[in-house]
Amino acid sequence: MIFILSGLCITPTVLANGGTWGDDQASAPSFHSPISLKQAERLLGQKDVYFFDVNPEDIWQQGHIPGAVNINKPDWQSLLPKNKTATLIFYCMNKLCVASDEAAKATEAMGYTHVFTMPEGIFGWMSSGRNLEKEPVADFNFNPS
Could you tell me the domains of the chain? 33-128 (3.40.250.10)
pLDDT in tens, 125-141: 999 999 999 976 555 55
Task: Give the pLDDT of residue 143.
Answer: 59
pTM for this model (two decimals): 0.75
3-class DSSP assignment, residue 143: coil
Task: Give the pLDDT of residue 32.
Answer: 74
pLDDT over 50 at 12, yes or no: no
